[in-house]
Each structure stands twice: as C-alpha cells, then as structure tokens.
Amino acid sequence: MSISRRGLIFGLPLFLAGCSTTSMNSQADYAARPSEPFPLKEVPIEKIKPELRRTEVAYVSNHKPGTIVVDTPARRLYYVLENGRAMRYGVGVGRAGLALSGNAYVGRKAEWPTWRPTANMIRRDPKKNLKFAGGMPGGPNNPLGARAMYLYRGGGDTHFRIHGTNQPDSIGHAMSSGCIRMMNHDVIDLYARVKVGDRVVVIQETARA
C-alpha cells in the first residue's frame, strides 16, 4: 500500500522516554490455531529471532494505553498497556519512500480480509497486481494474512494497514509496499486488543533527528 512522499508527514510523533525488556515469551504464543477459518500451524519458537518474538516489556512514554506505536527504524510495534508496560512485536515495514509517518487511527478491522492492490501498486507492477484489482478473497495465500487493521486520517482511508503476512521471513525487514506486516499469530493477538478508533503513531527515521 502506498501514498505519495509529499503526503507522508502529518504531525510529529511523541517522544519515547525508554524501553527495556523485562519478561519472556513461550512456545504457547505461537501454538497451532486449528479453530481459525484457515487453520494455522504451530510456529517453532526457535525459528523466530528472540528480538522479534511477541514480548511484554517495560515501556516508558507519554502515549496513553491503547495507543499503537510503530518504530519503523527498529522494525518494532508497541501496543501501550497500563503501568509503564507495552506488548512488543517484531514487524516488517515499507521500503524507502513507501512508508506512512505520523499519526493515524484504526478506522476498521477485518478477519481474513479481502486484499485489493492500490492504484499505485497496479501502476508500479501491472503484470503482478492488475489481475487482483477486483479483490483476492481471504485465505492462506492472501497478502493481508489472518487479520487487518485499516489506518485512517480525518475520516479517510490512508491505504495503509497493519496486517498479517504469508511471508514470515519478511518480519524485521523493510520490503513491503508500505504496510506494516506482522506474523499471523502476532496480528491475531494485537487484533484482539485493538479497538476501532485507537490511535496509531508511526515513527520514521526523520522523526528521530
């Protein structure tokens, strides 16, 4: 998903005072999910780099609980909890020039969503994307994975999403068309926490200068 570079900077994200890991995760976080419409297999925890695993951490910031903070340079997403805590997830982010920056909010949510390439994606790669202009139904081959949270500004869809992926090797890298990718097990966990209307702050490299 993408918008023009000129449209990327909408307000400055808030300062993060600090973040440190204080709790461990387990194989149970990535157990099989046979009850899903498209069942998910167990993901062996040893195949996930420790720094990319879902983990509750100490997180000091001035963001309110319920805020989603995407630290693009670090390839991390934080869901802010109470009492100076956050749930941290490893994510994949957009390639240079294709990433959202600043403030947004969750405009809607969907389970096993339909995927449609944006007009920009079709223009960049019509051979790959034009055939899906009418939409690809949800399922294991769908690029949006098991869940999607649609990011809005001012009542309008930005065409950016926080979503699952059928390419787990992309987590921790900048290689998407602009959206924020998560492992399917992680996006299911985040989806259950997030409400429509929750604030999203996306930090880019320029915001750290």
Domain positions in the chain are 5-208
Phi, psi of 12 (to 5 degrees): -100, 135
What whole-number distance in Å separates Cα of residue 195 and Cα of residue 68?
A: 11
What whole-number distance in Å separates Cα of residue 68 and Cα of residue 71?
A: 10
Per-residue tens of pLDDT for the chain, all 209 residues: 433 333 333 333 343 444 455 445 678 999 999 999 999 999 999 989 999 999 999 999 999 999 999 999 999 999 999 999 999 999 999 776 566 789 999 999 999 999 888 888 888 888 888 888 888 889 999 999 999 999 999 999 998 999 999 888 889 998 877 789 999 999 999 999 999 999 999 998 744 43
Catalytic residues: 163, 179
As a CATH number, domain 5-208 is 2.40.440.10
Residue 178's closest CA among 164, 159, 194, 165? 159
Q: Which residues contact 35 (CB under 8 A, 6 or more apart)?
A: none
What tokens were used for 71? 């630290």
Task: Please give the span between the terminal C-alpha atoms of the chain, in angstroms, as a whole number.
Answer: 26
- E strands, 22-131, are 55-61, 68-71, 76-80, 85-90, 93-94, 101-111
Residue 192: left (phi > 0), alpha (psi -120 to 50), or beta?
Answer: alpha
Residue 100 is predicted with a pLDDT of: 78
